[in-house]
């Protein structure tokens, strides 16, 4: 079942059945339920008697096969690291599961799609996320989209559609997921977790599923530590803080909570976004409870300096998953921020 904030989009999509596209791209920020939506749409396509609301009946043969996890006409292309059961390999070495969709997966899919659908109906391929492909893999997928097998629907679930090949995007019908209504997001969090942490909801950009995941991983405490630490930059050596953060990321608590360098860089980028927004006369979005601090820090601050700092954080975030030295990246990030806020009128 989809989330309530996607109801209008759902009705618009299922209304296109008579002219159904062979490939659709579900695009939007992470943490709002696109995967749930994709699975519901796959169920709709594979169901022989969907209801008037478009949802699968859950009782026909196709639905029973899907619910048992054995529907032969439902395929998923996802990274090995995200799969419940690792992909079998011929290598005897124990390697870390890939976080990419590799070209062998696309080749296997192409072979599987040469066979007629088992239920004599439509087939669905969910690709999640399509941006987890290198150039060769993306080109292999592009060939499938250029000459799609009959009665096959490709559902691409992307949180970064701009990272896809333009030729892939052009062959998909794109459906954009807007930001959930704040009241609906808070209501869902309250129903799901018993309370709605507005600070975590703001930190995740209003994405309720992301906020719930963060709350379940002791996100409130981690957020408070981050705010306390970054607030003291300017009065504390950023290199010492970089050492503390490096140790923090390697701690058992951080590993158990899935708090890694990309997540930390995201938070730093959002903190600098809020400060830059305040410098330009706007308001904090991700750390609204820190608005008074941003106001003090931005008084008389150099706009060009803050925007340069923000652009630098964007560039650091883009390379954060590369096999680079984590400590050096953290030092670079904190030194750039410390220089920006230590300018006259911009002290934190």
Domain count for the chain: 2
Residue at which a domain ends, from 160, 176, 192: 176
pLDDT score recorded for residue 147 = 92
- Do 270 and 137 have their domain in common? no
C-alpha to C-alpha distance for 269 and 316, rounded to whole angstroms: 9
C-alpha to C-alpha distance for 324 and 313, rounded to whole angstroms: 16
What tokens appear for 263 in the block?
A: 């997540």
| Stated pTM of the model | 0.85
By CB atoms closer than 10 A (0-12, 13-18, 19+), residue 285 is middle
pLDDT score recorded for residue 116 = 72
| Secondary structure (DSSP) of 74-123 | EEEE--GGG-SSPPP-S--S--PPPSS--HHHHHHHHHHTTSPPTTSS-E
Evaluate whether residue 192 is within a structural domain.
Answer: no
Helices marked H in the chain — which ranges?
7-14, 34-46, 61-67, 103-112, 135-146, 166-170, 182-193, 198-203, 208-216, 219-231, 238-250, 252-256, 261-279, 291-298, 303-318, 326-341
Q: What is the DSSP letter of 333?
A: H
Each residue of 84-104: pLDDT tens digit? Answer: 654 444 444 457 788 899 999
The CATH number that applies at residue 46 is 3.40.50.300
- Do 83 and 221 have their domain in common? no
Residue at which a domain ends, from 176, 205, 230: 176
- Do 262 and 144 have their domain in common? no
pLDDT score recorded for residue 297 = 86
The CATH number that applies at residue 300 is 1.20.272
Each residue of 189-229: pLDDT tens digit? Answer: 999 888 888 999 999 999 999 999 999 999 999 999 999 99
- Do 171 and 229 have their domain in common? no
- Do 13 and 157 have their domain in common? yes
Evaluate whether residue 282 is within a structural domain.
Answer: yes
- Do 30 and 167 have their domain in common? yes
Domain membership of residue 284 as a residue range: 217-341
pLDDT score recorded for residue 120 = 62
């Amino acid at each position: 079942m989809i989330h309530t904030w996607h109801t209008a989009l759902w009705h618009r999509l299922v209304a296109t059945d008579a002219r159904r596209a062979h490939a659709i791209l579900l695009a939007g920020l992470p943490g709002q339920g696109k995967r749930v939506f994709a699975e519901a749409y796959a169920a709709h396509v594979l169901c022989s008697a969907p209801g008037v609301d478009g949802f699968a009946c859950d009782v026909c043969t196709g639905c029973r096969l899907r619910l048992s996890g054995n529907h032969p006409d439902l395929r998923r292309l996802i990274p090995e690291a995200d799969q419940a059961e690792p992909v079998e390999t011929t290598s005897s070495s124990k390697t870390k599961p890939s976080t990419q969709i590799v070209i062998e997966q696309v080749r296997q899919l192409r072979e599987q799609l040469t066979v007629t659908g088992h239920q004599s109906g439509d087939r669905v391929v969910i690709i999640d996320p399509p941006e987890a492909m290198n150039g060769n893999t993306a080109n292999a997928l592009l060939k499938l989209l250029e000459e799609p097998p009959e009665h096959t629907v490709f559902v691409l679930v992307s949180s970064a559609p701009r990272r896809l090949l333009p030729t892939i995007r052009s062959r998909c019908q794109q459906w954009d997921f807007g930001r959930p209504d704040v009241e609906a997001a808070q209501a869902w969090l309250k129903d799901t977790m018993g309370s709605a942490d507005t600070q975590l909801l703001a930190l995740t950009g209003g994405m309720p599923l992301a906020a719930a995941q963060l709350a379940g991983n002791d996100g409130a405490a981690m957020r408070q530590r981050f705010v306390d630490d970054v607030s003291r930059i300017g009065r504390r050596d950023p290199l010492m803080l970089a050492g503390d953060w490096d140790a923090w990321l390697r701690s058992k608590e951080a590993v158990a909570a899935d708090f890694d360098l990309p997540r930390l860089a995201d938070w730093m980028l959002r903190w600098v976004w809020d400060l830059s927004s305040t410098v330009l006369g706007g308001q904090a979005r991700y750390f609204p409870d820190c608005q008074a601090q941003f106001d003090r820090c931005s008084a008389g601050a150099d706009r060009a300096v803050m925007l340069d700092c923000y652009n630098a954080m964007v560039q650091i975030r883009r390379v954060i998953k590369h096999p680079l030295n984590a400590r050096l990246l953290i030092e670079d990030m904190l030194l750039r921020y410390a220089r920006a806020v230590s300018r006259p009128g911009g002290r934190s």
